[in-house]
Structure 1
Amino acid sequence: MGCSLLLFFFLQSRMEPEQSGSDADSQDVNPVFLQQLRELDIPEEAAKQALLHTRNVSAEEAAMYYFNKLENEEGDDDLMFKMVFVVNMDLAMGVGKVAAQVGHAAVGLYQTLQEKNSWREMAWKWDHSGAKKVVVQGTNVAHLLELQALAMSLSLPAYLVQDAGLTQVEAGSRTVLAIMGEEEMVNNVTGSLKLL
């Protein structure tokens, strides 16, 4: 009787690591734990990553991992992010045209942000810290190109709109430059420009 009980515990201990290993290999998360994390307003992808990092032990473990990680990231300097739109004032654009071009710049920059994990994370932080947006005046196309080059040298994502030329300006006109990043870094590029 003692041998069979010992064998049972031995087999039990051998089976559990294999089962948890297969869960980790398949990258599956416990749907009940995931739902509990979502109810805490943790984004779905972040909740899944937290569960995977804590090996699906519990929603509580995953939540502690997520909030500790978030606290450490925010504690790094409480970085603020902003998006800046530099309008080419050399072009004769009406208010509606400027608004449309800033809209194109925002969409183009958002698409650019999807190209790198670090930029997607930056966009998430920007969105969750107030989504600050500023529109400023650029002198001309040469000025916009100079600012774009400076932003790129600082590894800041940027997008320059080239108009289709259907209204008000010639086709290919560079109308608005969009830049995004940590506020202090972006200020190194656009901080001296006047608000529109």
Structure 2
Amino acid sequence: MAETGEVNPMFLQQLLELGISEEKAKEALIKTGNQSSDSAALFYFSELEVRTIFMMFLTKAVTRDKSVQQLFSGFEVDESMSCEYKMVFVVNMELTMGIGKVAAQVAHAAVGLYQMMLEESDSWQQMLTTWDNDGGKKIVLKGQNVEHILELQEQACRLKLPNYLVKDAGKTQIAAGSRTVLAIMGEETLVNQVTGNLQLL
């Protein structure tokens, strides 16, 4: 098909769903003669010479959409390239804890979750390694009360995110068995589904 200003609307929509801008998608379709969305996508990414970014994108797209998986079935995708992990700590603000107490409880949560993940599965161990190599992103957030903390933990469990809830021994400041800090680890987009609307401490 000759190069024209008109593009196949179905091919265009498929490229837009891949995250390509409308301008670049139209250009890629025209340059490849409006033959197919996959040939246009290959042209787009090869022209930018960003194979690494392309493969990172493909991993996320394949996970999200089976039609995209079929479109790019000829590519080998390294899933580890796309994942950005973080560990978050949700502090139970209902409890009366001083700064030092909060710091100690967050430390308990970090160590507890880390040890649990090391013991549970190879995939979690790999997650820790990747997270650690990327700088070990950690964020401390405010939880409303114990009910809120338990609700967040339930959401994390539904998403199969590693999590660890600290129960205080009751030696200082608060009653024994008080749930102080919930630690959650996982891919950033998934963790944000649970804690994305919480305020920083």
Is TM (by shorter chain) over 0.5?
A: yes
Provide the residue aligned with 1:176 in structure 2: 181
Q: Does residue 138 in structure 1 map to residue 170 in structure 2?
A: no
Cα shift at 1:130: 1.4
In structure 1, what residue type is equivalent to 2:99?
Answer: V
Distance 1:117 1:106, change over 3 A: same
Cα shift at 1:72: 3.0
Cα shift at 1:74: 4.2
Q: Structure 1 CA distance, aligned partners of 2:197 and 2:149? A: 14
Unmatched 5+ stretches in structure 2: 1-75
In structure 1, what residue type is equivalent to 2:123?
Answer: S
Q: Structure 1 CA distance, aligned partners of 2:166 and 2:116? A: 12
Cα shift at 1:154: 0.3
Q: For residues 166-187 of structure 1, what are the alpha-carbon distances to aligned partners after superposition, in whole Å with 9 as ceiling and x for unaligned?
A: 0000000000000000000000
The two structures, once aligned, show a CA RMSD in angstroms of 1.4
Q: Structure 1 CA distance, aligned partners of 2:189 and 2:98? A: 31
Q: Structure 2 CA distance, aligned partners of 1:111 and 1:72? A: 27
Q: Structure 2 CA distance, aligned partners of 1:163 and 1:74? A: 36
Provide the residue aligned with 1:148 in structure 2: 153
Mapping for residues 42-81 of structure 1, pairs under 5 Å: 72-75=78-81, 77=82, 79-81=83-85
**Secondary structure of 1:84 counterpart:** strand
What TM-score results when the alignment is normalised by the length of structure 1?
0.62
Q: Does residue 109 in structure 1 map to residue 113 in structure 2?
A: yes
Provide the residue aligned with 1:195 in structure 2: 200
Cα shift at 1:112: 1.3
Provide the residue aligned with 1:186 in structure 2: 191
Pick one of 87, 97, 101 that aligns with 1:97: 101
Total equivalences in the alignment: 125
Q: Structure 2 CA distance, aligned partners of 1:195 and 1:87? A: 10
Distance 1:118 1:74, change over 3 A: closer
Q: Structure 1 CA distance, aligned partners of 2:85 and 2:135? A: 9
In structure 2, what residue type is equivalent to 1:72?
Answer: D
Kindly name which structure, 1 or 2, has the bigger radius of gyration based on alpha carbons. 1
What TM-score results when the alignment is normalised by the length of structure 2?
0.60
Provide the residue aligned with 2:89 in structure 1: 85
Q: Does residue 121 in structure 1 map to residue 121 in structure 2?
A: no
Q: Structure 1 CA distance, aligned partners of 2:80 and 2:125? A: 16
Cα shift at 1:117: 1.0
Q: For residues 20-79 of structure 1, what are the alpha-carbon distances to aligned partners after superposition, in whole Å with 9 as ceiling and x for unaligned?
A: xxxxxxxxxxxxxxxxxxxxxxxxxxxxxxxxxxxxxxxxxxxxxxxxx9x93444x2x2
Q: Structure 2 CA distance, aligned partners of 1:81 and 1:93? A: 28
**Secondary structure of 1:159 counterpart:** strand
In structure 1, what residue type is equivalent to 2:146?
Answer: V
